[in-house]
Amino acid sequence: SGTDVVPTEQKAGWTSFIKSLASMTGDLSSMTAPPFILSPTSLTEFPAYWCERPELFADIATGRTEQDRAEKVLRWFICTLKGQYTDDGHCCFPGARAIANNTFKTRNEKMGSEKKPLNPVLGEEFFGVWPDVGFGETTLSVEQVSHHPPVTAYFIQNKKARVTLQGHSGQKTSFSGGSINVKQNGHAILTVDVPGGKKETFLITLPKLQIQGLVWGSPYIELTDSTAIVSDTGYVANIDYKGKGWVSGKAHSYKATLAHNGKTVRSYEGTWTAIGKVAKSDEIFTDATVPKTEVTVKPIEEQSDWESRKLWRATAQGIRSGDYDAASRDKSRIEANEASAGKQWQLKLFQYVESDPVYKQLAAHVKGIPSEEDAYIFRGNA
Ligand code: CLR
């Protein structure tokens, strides 16, 4: 049958979940899914995927020209896609923890499919560090800034290299042709200090996702359409995404161009899960097979009650050990606490702005995106 990976006792539940997707109203996060598809990881942890190649993030600052830096931003961005969009092992079957410790593999390689992450509560936080191994320490601060609809804001910084990334992501989902289509709301802004006391700024738009393979019970992500990286130096990178059956015929393909004031200076193509090359050459541009560096997190005992791994500890343990009753009891407890927490909410780490001035300035150079967007500006951990 088509649903071989679905545990026998959950087949009916899976079928009715797929059917209910057809009447979904845009917020998939709050839908109840069968246990086998649940991930023990909260969405507040996902911004860590932006920096699992901290060496490439820091390397942006070593670019000697505007074009050099624009190209390094593009390389770093493409090399984050594999971690972001191929499920990396928030494993749910017994004994899976040991496999999950293998940081050389992605989610899909470890457990075969995309899972449904835990839906963060308002005010949930996640802090992480990539220790200094020569190019400076990189830190990550995340806050869930909205629950309905879910929006996650993050700030990443390498102080020594003087590179920062600030952004937010929400999702709008729809169902058609057997797949879930996910449009990401939000954008990211990268800044890098350059010699002479100046700063360069890059606007990064977020890709659309298609979740395929639902019918088989082993969902996976393909990226569609295109995204842009726009710099205030006049460099614009455009990245087109395609799945199987396009040019190379390979899944997870990309084609990118780097242009300056409208004139293409270089092109690249390949896959964002393996190798991308400078077009019409053998020069390797992106290598996503290089081992990634997972973020490190304080021991749970030292975390505050708002921090993701402490907050969801019992739920996650229930999911990992297959004790779904315990998982769902603890999940209900957390969600009930949240419902009673009241409506007026003070953001802790970020400040909301209705129109992001940096976005407004740079978005004018990209066709087909809104001219204004809101944003969450990092205020610090104080
Ligand atoms: C969150 C922001 C990250 C990139 C990213 C990767 C995977 C996405 C996730 C975002 C949002 C939530 C998501 C997930 C894949 C599956 C999951 C769309 C965009 C949905 C809610 C769950 C689908 C449920 C089926 C698997 C049954 O930077």
DSSP state of 178: T
pLDDT value of residue 381: 67
Upper half-sphere CA count for residue 90 (Cβ side, 13 Å): 24
pLDDT digits (tens, 9 = 90+) for 151-196: 999 999 999 999 999 999 999 999 998 899 999 999 999 999 999 8
Mean pLDDT of 350-363: 97
Mean residue pLDDT of the chain comes to 89
Identify the residue whose C-alpha is closest to ligand 1 atom 11: 171
Mean pLDDT of 253-282: 96
pLDDT value of residue 1: 42
Residue 36 has pLDDT above 60, yes or no: yes
Q: If pLDDT is split at 50, 70 and 90, which confidence band does 5 have?
A: confident
Q: Are 150 and 144 in contact (CB under 8 A)?
A: yes
Enumerate the β-bridge partners of residue 352.
376
Residue 374 has pLDDT above 80, yes or no: yes
Residue to probe by mutation, ligand 1, list 24, 111, 180, 205, most atoms within 8 Å of CB: 180
Residues 6 or more apart in contact with residue 82 via CB below 8 angstroms: 106, 272, 273, 288, 292
Q: Are 43 and 119 in contact (CB under 8 A)?
A: yes
Among 205-214, 333-342, 372-381, the minimum mean pLDDT is found in: 333-342
Tokens of 202: 């890059």
Distance 274 CA to ligand 1 centre (A): 21
pLDDT value of residue 98: 33
Pocket-forming residues, ligand 1, beta carbon under 6 Å: 28-29, 33, 37, 43, 46, 49, 84-85, 114, 116-117, 169, 171, 182, 184, 209, 211, 219
Between residues 108 and 40, the one the model is more confident about: 40
* CB neighbour class for 236 (10 Å; exposed up to 12, middle 13-18, buried from 19): buried
Residue 44 has pLDDT above 60, yes or no: yes
Identify the residue whose C-alpha is closest to ligand 1 atom 25: 116
Residue 331 has pLDDT above 50, yes or no: yes
Residue 222 has pLDDT above 70, yes or no: yes
Residue 95 has pLDDT above 80, yes or no: no
Mean pLDDT of 282-306: 97
Identify the residue whose C-alpha is closest to ligand 1 atom 3: 46
Q: If pLDDT is split at 50, 70 and 90, which confidence band does 343 have?
A: low
Mean pLDDT of 285-312: 97
Whether ipTM > 0.90 holds is yes
Say which amino acid occupies 149: P
Q: How far apart are CA 273 and CA 88, in angstroms?
A: 12
Among 115-129, 210-224, 229-243, the minimum mean pLDDT is found in: 210-224
Rounded to a whole number, what is the largest CA-CA distance in the chain?
65
pLDDT value of residue 247: 55
pLDDT value of residue 103: 42
Q: Are 60 and 54 in contact (CB under 8 A)?
A: no
Q: Report DSSP letters for 286-351, one per residue.
A: EETTSPP-PPB---GGGS-TTBHHHHTHHHHHHHHHT-HHHHHHHHHHHHHHHHTT-S----SSEE
Residue 113 CA: which ligand 1 atom is closest?
Answer: 26
Residue 173 CA: which ligand 1 atom is closest?
Answer: 18
Residue to probe by mutation, ligand 1, list 14, 18, 28, 187, most atoms within 8 Å of CB: 28
pLDDT value of residue 27: 83
Distance 67 CA to ligand 1 centre (A): 33
Distance 110 CA to ligand 1 centre (A): 17
Helix (H, G, I), strand (E, B) or coil at 216: coil
Cα 360 from chain centroid (whole Å): 23
Q: If pLDDT is split at 50, 70 and 90, which confidence band does 31 have?
A: confident
Q: How far apart are CA 86 and CA 187, in angstroms?
A: 20
Residue to probe by mutation, ligand 1, list 116, 126, 181, 295, most atoms within 8 Å of CB: 116
Q: If pLDDT is split at 50, 70 and 90, which confidence band does 96 have?
A: very low
Distance 267 CA to ligand 1 centre (A): 29
Q: How far apart are CA 45 and CA 221, in angstroms?
A: 18
Q: Are 223 and 239 in contact (CB under 8 A)?
A: no
Q: If pLDDT is split at 50, 70 and 90, which confidence band does 91 have?
A: very low
Residue 24 has pLDDT above 60, yes or no: yes
pLDDT digits (tens, 9 = 90+) for 98-139: 333 344 455 555 445 899 999 999 999 999 999 999 999 999
Identify the residue whose C-alpha is closest to ligand 1 atom 1: 46
* Token pair 């009753």: residue: 325
Residue 218 has pLDDT above 80, yes or no: yes
Mean pLDDT of 274-282: 97
Distance 61 CA to ligand 1 centre (A): 30
Tokens of 135: 């190019």
Residue 152 CA: which ligand 1 atom is closest?
Answer: 2
